[in-house]
Structure 1
Amino acid sequence: MSDAPTWYDLLDVPRDATGDEVRAAWKAHIADLEPGDRRFDALNRAAKVLLDPDARATYDASLPAEDVDGPADEDSVLAPVTSSGPRTVPTWLLAGLGILAAGLVAAVVWMWTPAAAGGDGSAARDAQVAAERAVVPVLSYDYEHLDADQQAATALMTGSYKSEYDKLFAVIEDNAPQTQTKVTAEVIASGIVRAADDRVQVLVFVDRPTTNKLSAEPTVYKDQVTLSMQLVDGDWLVDDLVTSPVQG
């Protein structure tokens, strides 16, 4: 057995596990954990890497063959896995403003289990689909058409969250044209966190390729984003949105 357990060990899945198998193992492992448990963060990071095909391929290439098997010591897998690609410093500022514009702060989340979720399962799935659809325009913007980007995002929000978003988006409008920043959100995976009759929390893994006039080559920021979806007149709208960046 290797001295260094892997993300596969932590989730107790084989190296050739499918995305569905990884996702199922992740949900099963975090079902009984409190958000403050150190294993909770490690399990989320493991799932983030293994559910992202590019990150997983890079990670797999770094593993020696003997690390395939053997049980994991969960506390020893807390360090995040990083890619070997270059980092571009100048893009962080506007990317950070993009987070602010979406009303994001670091947060802990309560993970969904079948026993804990309330409400109708079909409705919760509808909210999950709506969250995946909404997170892209909410977290994306292009300095060349900010007005259109803002309208596309706010059309998917409740009135209360729209008011917050509009105030914070003003920061983007002041800065993005000068730095020529573009942020494009891409959904990697999602899962239901908590469900009620008219309110559902959805966890979405998101990549955000970001460019500006100093960096034409995208820098990819990776986030865990929790959207609170509210049912309003038959439509699931974003009523709140928080994120926990994947450190790397």
Structure 2
Amino acid sequence: MTRLAVTVANWSPRARRLVLLSLCTLAVAAVVGAGIALRADHLSDSRAQSGREGRAFAVEIVPKLLSYDFDTVEQHFAEMQDDLGGDFRTQFEDVGRTVIVPSARERQVVTTAEVLEAAVVAADTENVDVLLFLNQSTTSSESQETKLDGSRVRVHVERADGGWLITELTPV
């Protein structure tokens, strides 16, 4: 017999049970800890994936949202509604109908937006905030010379029905 076996054999039954219980408790704690670590890693991967998807959606949709031609502006705004959600959808529809469409038609506005850079500001599995740096070029009947404006907007997108919706667009 080894020295350890002889030592353990001399322990009282209570001491042996206490050591066995301690070892079992440590084993359970290790398994639970490993499970928590794996879950946290999976959640982190899910957040990163959502960030990539939300960013790509914002980069694709925001320039379309901010680009229009006075000849087709009503149709354009109607088509964009499917990519909008929450209160922003209603606000965008109202401002489009009452301000942007009449002004674009009256002044014969043609505007094109382009994303220069984009970065995820915050992301979880259902919501992503993206900062976009944009250039917007505009011509109108008031000035045939192209006017170029740079801007930054913070875009909030939310997961909905397996896709994404813009629920907030705020100039920064």
**1:209 counterpart = 2:137:** yes
Q: 2:90 aligns with which of 163, 185, 206?
A: 163
Structure 1 equivalent of residue 48 of structure 2: 121
Structure 1 equivalent of residue 69 of structure 2: 142
Structure 2 equivalent of residue 75 of structure 1: none
Q: Map residues 1-248 of structure 1 onto 2, 5 A cutoff.
A: 120-170=47-97, 171-244=99-172
TM-score (ref. length: structure 2)? 0.70
3-state DSSP of counterpart to 1:177:
helix
3-state DSSP of counterpart to 2:83:
coil
Q: What amino acid is the match of 1:145?
A: T
| Distance in 2, Cα, partners of 1:141 & 1:217 | 17
| Distance in 2, Cα, partners of 1:150 & 1:228 | 19
What whole-Å deviation, never above 9, does each CA across 1:142-191 have from its counterpart, x for those lacking one?
A: 11101221023212111432111011112112221111111111111100
Structure with greater strand share of residues = 2
What whole-Å deviation, never above 9, does each CA across 1:25-71 have from its counterpart, x for those lacking one?
A: xxxxxxxxxxxxxxxxxxxxxxxxxxxxxxxxxxxxxxxxxxxxxxx
TM-score (ref. length: structure 1)? 0.49
Report deviation, 1:118: 9.1
| Distance in 2, Cα, partners of 1:224 & 1:159 | 22
Aligned length: 128
Aligned-residue Cα RMSD (Å) equals 1.6
Please tell me whether the aligned partners of residues 143 and 182 of structure 1 are also in contact (alpha carbons under 8 angstroms).
yes
**Which consecutive unaligned segments of at least 5 residues does structure 1 have?**
1-116
Structure with greater helix share of residues = 2
Please tell me whether the aligned partners of residues 50 and 124 of structure 2 are also in contact (alpha carbons under 8 angstroms).
no
Please tell me whether the aligned partners of residues 57 and 164 of structure 2 are also in contact (alpha carbons under 8 angstroms).
yes
Amino-acid identity (%): 25
Report deviation, 1:132: 0.4
What whole-Å deviation, never above 9, does each CA across 1:181-210 have from its counterpart, x for those lacking one?
A: 111111111000001120000011110001
User: Larger C-alpha radius of gyration, 1 or 2?
Assistant: 2
